[in-house]
Amino acid sequence: MSNLSNFIEFKKANRIWAVGSIHSNINSFNSIKKYIIENFQTDDKLIFLGNIIGLGNDAKNTLSKVIRLRFKLMAKYELDSDDIVFLRGAQEEMFTKLQQLQTAPNPKEIIEWMFSHGVDNTIKSYDLDPEDIRNIASQGTIKISKWTSKLNSYIASIPGHKEYFSNLKHAAFSQTKKILFVNRGVDISRPLSAQNDCFWWGYQNFSQINKPYNSFQRIVRGYQSEHKYNFDKLKNDVVCTLFKQPLNNMKVLAGIFSEKGDIIDLFESK
């Protein structure tokens, strides 16, 4: 498989915890975090399925809390770095592109599109004014570069944030190859190495998949755009979605899985 660094294989997993899109909902994450801390076990693994940031007003502090949870679990259970994984979601993809906006051919249009998808709230959480880059976006590469340098310097000054954006993975799977974790979707007609950005932008009719993808009996994802949701029905579906529309419900969904793809538990924030 090409680009092996984009994928993680969970080896000898007792259980795999997966957390769906948080979207900067810090109070909902606190509820999920408490449950994880109280019930995590030796040889468990943990994966965040993308979209930790975005939409909500507290992206910076939410991400810091997630990073601190990682350090806490790694220290207590002597985990390896690959035992707790962060996937790239659409929000992380957009914010990463924002940090390189000076290279974009049409920065003004890109900014407007990003802001319509909640990236402006993430900028605010880093104590910057979104209107500044909106105004600068049409003033040329040099001014845009100065703004992105300021943003990147601020991100680098917060413990763990630069490393987080630099080490996001595309997907993860168990050693048995029975369960696959993605942010939004996968094109089942193509191998993992040829998915491009399907992982975070999705694939048409992915929700209707009713057969395994290669050896993967279960595909767990952290976001869906549809409003239909049936928590109980997930246990019988190939695709298990840990996200519930609408976006303003402020809930975070999570689950615990065996390395063979069995659902051990599904739960949501209080």
- The pLDDT assigned to 84 comes to 98
The tokens for 195 are: 């998915």
What is d(CA 143, CA 31) in angstroms, rounded to the nearest whole number?
42
What is d(CA 114, CA 96) in angstroms, rounded to the nearest whole number?
11
Q: What is the mean pLDDT of the segment spanning 156-160?
A: 97
Angle between helices 90-98 and 107-115 (to 10 degrees): 140
Average pLDDT over the chain reads 93
- The pLDDT assigned to 246 comes to 83
What confidence tens digit (pLDDT) does each residue in 15-56 have? 999 999 999 999 999 999 999 999 999 999 999 999 999 999
Whether residue 233 has pLDDT greater than 70: no
What confidence tens digit (pLDDT) does each residue in 80-112 have? 999 999 999 999 999 999 999 999 999 999 999
Can you point out the beta strands (E) in the chain? Answer: 7-10, 16-19, 45-48, 84-86, 171-174, 179-182, 218-221, 239-241, 253-257, 263-268
- The pLDDT assigned to 9 comes to 97
CATH architecture of residue range(s) 11-88+174-195+206-211+218-268: 4-Layer Sandwich (3.60)
What is d(CA 171, CA 183) in angstroms, rounded to the nearest whole number?
8
- Cα 153 from chain centre: 23
In the chain, domain spans? 11-88+174-195+206-211+218-268, 93-156
* pTM assigned to the model: 0.95
Whether residue 228 has pLDDT greater than 80: no
β-bridge pairing 171-174 and 179-182: antiparallel
Q: Which residue has the higher pLDDT, 1 or 5?
A: 5
